[in-house]
Chain A
């Protein structure tokens, strides 16, 4: 038997090793001095300190806990209530209700998420008229006429998927319970309510507790449903992490997870010890050995059942409730009462200290959110999924937004720093009269390659398509850029609407894919793949290349001889922005020379602010006591002769966009 037991434990141990290997790795890298989760650079507690300054992580953690706790509380109460009701239904009615109850669990998360998204969008579309009508005949409450996805919709979604778990855990307990017990209690003079608290509740308590526990775990762990129902003005920890996994997960998240992990581990250990002790006690009782309980604990228990003890118990419960509710109210009030500006930008696209500074200076709270591509931003805006004031799309998306009337004109009298923007970046084709935009950054697209993995220098897009580096190339996962590059290689304009040319470009990529040229399709995942030396060639943005260079000095960047794309990302304000004036203040603040210098230093994208761009090398020297490598400066701020080779994207007509999409999906399948 002993040997047998060893074999069985060995197998179980292997399974746990499999489950815990990545987790141990995660914890290990939370103590990394460097910011990579693949390269170890020494022990440090840096990321734990950093954690308290990282607002994005802290706020999303708070949102996650708030939503999960509230959803669990509501779902547990509602689910228990409903379970009793369902249990009392006639069988004819009970069965269909139970089938529908199972539906959210049987359904894929993505279907639940998507269908709720559609419901909310449909409701929001209709709400405007309802609110206007309500406001017209009464003036007691003014209803907002525009609703967006956010905390409310997130909470509804979580409650919806939590309730079935509670019911599923409570229902079997109810079925096991002897129905006569309630009747007996009532016969003995209990009201139904009393019977509920004295008889039913103690009987079904284990079911309620495990239901609540599962609901809470599901809420905390959920990503897909939150992703579709939270818009992106509200982010749960999962959503924040998803945004990061594309670029580079800052080890701050590892630190948070390690702390959560430890907290849960401690709770589980305590719980285990308690259960083990109870089991021991029970077995002692069973064997009629004298049981010696802690006398103090016994006295405490006795005190609890005295009238005063009961009163105290209730008081404690009431205090807890009040604390809970007031924290919630306080938190919501705190986040809504201050003047605010909602900004949506790209991941790691700002020196975050600037946000704190702006808040300290103006008292306006910055609700800073990120999305991962122009297309995602567009989808969010079309869904009514977001309530942003300021967005930072790229050139071609700006002209599309202008065309569809989604942008508001700016009040340049409130943005004196617009003066400082280099005239090269004003009145560009996407905004010819410069009524809507203040440029944020600019740069070029080029080839990033690992010197140690290729022979000689690369200077042509052909490296992506010819056989030499098969399996070593990363294709950019974005139809516009991928097809655009192929068009440039073929010598066509990136803005061509000629279907034949676009199809030719598609065939070039498709043919290369068939020959196994591409290791994968990446967007921001390119960072860790290239930094870790896992692929030889990729195409990406100059600024991001410089970030990668900090972690892998073998990487090189080139704007190929066939030419490339150059882009401008600019700040715009959405139509009907609720905080228009605050948005102007934010834009003006970001457009200043000081902000531009710090942003440039942090994200390595070139600034459109003329002064900042010119003095950056001197500023760098002053800051770091060493000279800025002129080559780096040239890559960041491409000189005019390079720009002359490059072409800017313009907004393509709808039919061409559809062609791009169709071809792109065809490539993926």
Chain B
């Protein structure tokens, strides 16, 4: 009986081959070729120059992975407690809180990020607030410096803040989902057996929520490492990330799809390896992803 409906999967397999697998193969092809000019037209020729030339961008790779890592850790540190506390609230509160976490996604993420610019600017709301509260004067007195604002925007900190802000819901949602599905009899049993709250959390709750943590980490880390809008808006062009570099090769000034494809390939491979290692630790069940 089972196999009778298996052909239902067939159209989708073809679709995936066309729009998931083949594009990646084409990207691979691009990354392994370069444009050469022959007498009458430009042609592609096999070449490894895209990969060998990539050493130039090592610092961009380093910065992207480093900032994304920091953002992911911060998201986890904020997201886990919030998800945990939410899951212990009453059902009415939970419903409202869930809605409130989903709601920002309906506000365009670029606009939300743009809004941070107004907050973080040198003359922005936060600096004005600091000035009114005398924080800046105090800082000047303490350090003997003479500044009239804190430089917040156009720094790597601002980029990390943008990532945390935009992707925090993606950390909270899967962890929350896993925690609400947690069988309370297990924690009760642990308590009955004499474990204190910390032990219950450490030995029961945390291990059971690993799958949520892993999908949360994936959903924060992957978009963070490849973002280009956030680094451009909040980093002010000073924090070039992999996303910027790739975008620049396809739709920007540098126009070299071959190099762009090669960078994308390398990034993809590194990310996939990271994820495989992660899933190995969490004996991978990717099912917790969101709802």
Chain B residues lying within 8 Å of A82, measured Cβ to Cβ, are: 8-9, 11-12
Stretch at the interface among B137-145, B184-192, B202-210, B251-259: B251-259
Residues of A518-570 contacting chain B, CB below 8 A: 518-522, 525, 528-529, 532-535
Q: Does B165 contact A (CB under 8 A)?
A: yes
What is the 8 Å Cβ interface bit string for chain A, positions 170-187, against chain B (1 contact, 0 not)? 001000000100110000
Given the interface pairs A109-B223, A669-B57, the reply to whether A378 lies near B30 with Cβ below 8 Å is: no
B221 to chain A, nearest CB (A): 10
- State whether A217 touches B111 (Cβ < 8 A): no
User: Smallest distance from the beta carbon of A24 to chain B beta carbons, Å?
Assistant: 9
Contact partners of B168 in chain A: CB under 8 A: 15, 18-19
**Is A31 part of the contact surface with B, judged by Cβ < 8 Å?**
no
Q: Which residues of B contact A228 (CB under 8 A)?
A: 250-251
Question: What is the bound-complex CA distance between A271 and B100, given in angstroms?
Answer: 13
Which chain B positions have C-beta within 8 A of A79? 12
Known A375-B252, A522-B237: A119·B22 in contact at CB below 8 Å: yes
Contact A115 B2 (CB under 8 A): no
Q: Is the CB of A90 within 8 A of B3?
A: yes
Residue of A108, A163, A279 with most partner-chain B CB within 10 A? A108
B257 to chain A: closest residue by CB:
A118
Chain A-chain B contacts (Cβ-Cβ < 8 Å), number: 318
Per-position binary interface string of chain B over residues 94-126, scored 1 when its CB falls under 8 Å from any chain A CB and 0 otherwise: 011101111111111111111111110111110
Q: Tell me the smallest distance from the CB of B245 to a CB of chain A, in Å.
A: 8
Chain A residues 557-601 with CB under 8 Å of chain B are none
Structural contact, B252 and A379, CB atoms closer than 8 A: yes
Report chain B residues within 8 Å CB of A241.
Answer: 108, 110-111, 114
Nearest chain A residue, comparing its CB with the CB of B246: A110
Contact between B236 and A160 (Cβ–Cβ < 8 Å)?
no
| Bound Cα distance A97, B290 (Å) | 20
Residue of B whose beta carbon sits closest to that of A216: B106
Whether A111 pairs with B226 at a CB distance below 8 angstroms is yes
CB proximity of B164 to chain A, nearest CB, Å: 9
Asked if A382 is at the interface of the complex by the 8 Å CB criterion, the answer is: yes
A23 interfacial by beta-carbon distance below 8 Å:
yes
| Nearest-CB residue, chain A, relative to B265 | A111
Contacts of A179 in B (CB 8 A): 1-2
A321 to chain B, nearest CB (A): 22
What 0/1 readout, one digit per residue, does chain A (219-258) give for beta carbons within 8 Å of chain B? 0110110011000000001100110010001000110010
Residue A364 lies at the interface, judged by CB distance under 8 Å to chain B = no
Q: How large is the interface on A (under 10, 10 to 19, 20 to 34, 35 or more residues)?
A: 35 or more
CB distance from B16 to the nearest CB of A (A): 5
Which residues of B in the span 70-99 have a Cβ within 8 Å of any Cβ on A? 78, 81-82, 85-86, 88-89, 91-93, 95-97, 99
In the assembled complex, the Cα of A89 lies from the Cα of B228 at a distance in Å of 39
Of all chain A residues, the one with the shortest Cβ separation from B78 is: A15
The docked-state distance in angstroms from the alpha carbon of A584 to that of B130 is 57
Query: Using an 8 Å CB-CB cutoff, how does the interface string of A409-449 with B read, 1 for contact, 0 for none?
Result: 00000000000000000000000000000000000000000
Q: Decide: A268 and B99 in contact? CB cutoff 8 A.
A: yes
Tell me whether A380 is interfacial, beta carbon within 8 Å.
yes
Binary per-residue interface labels of chain A (355-383) against chain B in the complex, 1 for a CB within 8 Å, 0 otherwise: 00000000000000000010110111011
Q: Given the known inter-chain contacts A264-B103, A668-B240, please indicate yes or no for A15 contacting B111, CB distance below 8 A.
A: no
**A669 CB, nearest partner CB in chain B, Å:** 5
Q: Name the interface residues of A78-118: CB closer than 8 Å to any CB of B.
A: 78-79, 81-82, 84-86, 88-90, 93, 97, 100-112, 114-118
Contact A19 B106 (CB under 8 A): no
- Complex interface residues of chain B between 115 and 173 (CB less than 8 A to chain A): 115-119, 121-125, 151, 153-154, 165, 168-169
The B-contacting residues of A in range 246-299, CB under 8 angstroms, are 249, 253-254, 257, 260-261, 264-265, 268, 271-272, 275-276, 279
A182 CB contacts on chain B under 8 angstroms: 1
Residues of A within 8 A of B229 (CB): 223-224, 242, 245
Q: Kindly state the separation between the CA atoms of A15 and B289 in the bound complex, as whole angstroms.
A: 21
Measured between beta carbons, the chain B residues less than 8 angstroms from A257 are 107-108, 111
Residues of chain B with a CB closer than 8 A to A165's CB: 290
Of residues 1 through 36 on chain A, the ones whose CB sits less than 8 Å from some CB of chain B are 5, 8-9, 11-12, 15-16, 18-23, 25-26, 29
Say whether A169 faces chain B, with CB atoms less than 8 Å apart. yes
A81 to B11, CA, bound (A): 9
Q: Which secondary structure dominates where chain A touches chain B? A: helix
Q: Across the interface, do A383 and B8 meet the contact criterion of CB distance under 8 Å?
A: no
B115 with A23: CB separation less than 8 A = yes
Contact of A261 with B238 in the complex, beta carbons under 8 Å: no
Whole-angstrom CA separation of A23 from B100 in the bound complex: 12
> Considering the chains assembled together, what is the distance between the CA atoms of A122 and B33 in angstroms?
14
Are B8 and A85 in contact (CB-based, < 8 A)? yes
Q: Smallest CB–CB gap between B65 and chain A, Å?
A: 12
Given A25-B115, A261-B103, A528-B117, CB of A100 within 8 Å of CB of B251 = no
Instruction: Decide if B193 is an interface residue (CB 8 Å cutoff).
Output: no
Q: Is B26 an interface residue (CB 8 A)?
A: yes
Is A664 part of the binding interface, using a Cβ–Cβ cutoff of 8 Å? Answer: yes
**A378–B121 Cα gap in the complex (Å)?**
33
A479 close to chain B: CB less than 8 A: yes
Q: Is B243 part of the contact surface with A, judged by Cβ < 8 Å?
A: yes
Known interface pairs A228-B251, A520-B237, A521-B238; A156-B19 also in contact (CB < 8 Å): yes
Contact of A118 among B1, B26, B95 (CB under 8 A): B26
- Bound form: Cα–Cα A634–B103 in Å: 50
The answer to whether A479 and B22 have CB atoms under 8 Å apart is no
B45 within 8 A of partner (CB)? no
CA distance A664 to B6 in the complex (A): 54
CB <8 Å contact, B261 and A114? yes
A471 touches B (CB below 8 Å): yes
Can you list 21 A-B pairs, Cβ within 8 angstroms, ordered by A? A12-B97, A15-B82, A23-B104, A23-B115, A37-B115, A38-B124, A81-B12, A84-B8, A90-B2, A90-B6, A105-B289, A108-B243, A110-B226, A172-B287, A223-B108, A223-B110, A228-B250, A272-B96, A375-B252, A534-B124, A661-B254
A-B contact sample (7 more), CB < 8 A, given A118-B27, A268-B103, A375-B255: A25-B125, A88-B6, A108-B268, A118-B30, A157-B19, A221-B105, A221-B109
Contacts from B to A (Cβ < 8 Å): 1-13, 15-16, 19-24, 26-27, 30, 56-57, 59-60, 78, 81-82, 85-86, 88-89, 91-93, 95-97, 99-119, 121-125, 151, 153-154, 165, 168-169, 218, 222-223, 225-226, 228-229, 233, 235-238, 240, 243-248, 250-255, 257, 260-261, 264, 267-268, 271-272, 275, 286-287, 289-291
**Leading 7 A-B pairs by shortest Cβ distance:** A85-B8, A85-B9, A520-B236, A521-B237, A108-B226, A82-B12, A115-B23
